[in-house]
Structure 1
Amino acid sequence: MPGQETLPPQGQSQQPGREGPMHPQPRYEPRFPGSGRLEGKVAIVTGGDSGIGRAVSVLFAREGAKVVIVYLEENEDAKATAEAVRREGSECLTMAGDVGDESFCQKVAEETVRRFGRLDVLVNNAAEQHPKESLEEIGAAQLTRTFQTNIFGYFFLTKAAMPHLGEGGAIVNTTSVTAYRGSSHLLDYASTKGAIVAFTRSLAQNLAEKKIRVNAVAPGPIWTPLIPSTFPPDRVKQFGADVPLKRPGQPNEVASCHLFLACDDSSYMTGQVLHPNGGEIVGG
């Protein structure tokens, strides 16, 4: 609905964005009591400091998992998420670094197992985006940086996790609705999200014999720090107005998809993508 305002206009000058200054605050708290669906499991969540990653981390903790939160440099957001995980009665490890660095990803996997003795679930979720109005505006540095974080990081951390994931393990990748419908102003970002879909489907086939499931979640417009840190205030105020539900989604409306794919509720699903996107029809 053109012109409909869904949020107060706001912006942030720093990327990655911070959750603290956002108003209203994104809703990350789990909406239902836990039922032990990840009891005794250990999960890594990249981009776990804020947004969808925060909601996933806290929900996993409520369901019994110990959580490793991987983030770039947003220390205050990561601290707040870790405290929320611990309030759920779980244990939490935070690790700051660049998932586009393969040696850091190796360190994350090794430290997870050293600290908790196992690894059961990997959630590849970290991402960055840099809107540009035309292809000519996207330089080699931006293109490389976006792919380094959004798809190379998924490859690197999955590769590092593989020696530690056993039968029954689960990998959940965060892609995007832009992988299916495209985005005229996020050409490089949407391209990485399409690559994540192909990576998910291919890896699912590759790991089927090992009984490790690989699935993905493709969110639509979700109220996370990526939004005020990458779009101007006049676009932020109409964010999510163009989907059938006419509003942006909240992180805790997406995290339940990650939980479903991470636990045995989805034991007969691999290579699949869930679409919490406010009613936009994708894939025919």
Structure 2
Amino acid sequence: MTSPDFNLLIALEALLDTGSVAGAARRLGLSASAMSRTLQRLRDTTGDPLLVRSGRGLVPTPRALALRARVGGLVQEVGQMLRPAAPLDLSTVRQRFTVLCSDGFVENFGAALLARVAAEAPGIHLHFRPKGQRSNAPLREGAADLEIGVVGATTAPDFHARALFRDRFVAVVRAGHPLDKAGLTPTEYAAERHVVDDRHAPAQDPVDGALSALGLARTIVATVGGFAPALALVRDAGLVATVPEHHTRHLRQGLSVIPLPVALPDITVSMLWPPRLDADPLHCWLRGVVHAVCAG
């Protein structure tokens, strides 16, 4: 069975509304002969003459009268679907956005982000969700709307990204720890008891890579699932954590920050989103808000 030609609906509406082949042709910018051929196609498709001659004009058949009550609404609805979306009215939006991010992002930017959203779109609900494994599957499958993180080898190449801020790794210890001093050496740093984030495999961690080049390896005694528990163990168990400096600004209050004794490049924290959301007006607004809050 061949698919119907939906262009015939527009011609049918014009024919039924004008009751004239010539009138319908003028409305659609066609010649009278082209409109006559279209009417014949409509008759073949519907199995009904639709318009029949009576005196000098054409009159609709009962089938045509039944169709006329519906075809106008169908054409109007299709036309609305194919027009650009109406301007976004943030005051009326009611929607939930899921943002994949670290606890450090929520600590540093969550309050300011919620305040900005409440001022512009009070019906928006933000769900901050831990990223878990380093995979973009939640974004691709629609379980999340935005991800905050570092673009890396595991990032889907078709995803869009926009940089939010730059950061660097630092060592964090509690006050009075043996490493809380100037002139820390790589050997001293590696030999201390470390807590690490289990979302970063040692083979992929830039700190371990830099130490390995020197023939050293960290003494790792605990792994955790985020910056907050890592810094809690720094504070309460005297361990050493290596974390992004800017990202953990609030989490490490009261702790000592020490420059790493190995050279590492800065990292760029970005927001990522799938191609299907790139042109969505509401998602564009959300990305703009996130960028403005992080820049501020």
**Common fold, TM-score beyond 0.5?**
no
Larger RCO of the pair (alpha carbons < 8 Å, separation 6+): 1
- The structure having more radius of gyration, on CA atoms, is 2
TM-score (norm 2): 0.22
Q: Which has the higher strand share?
A: 2
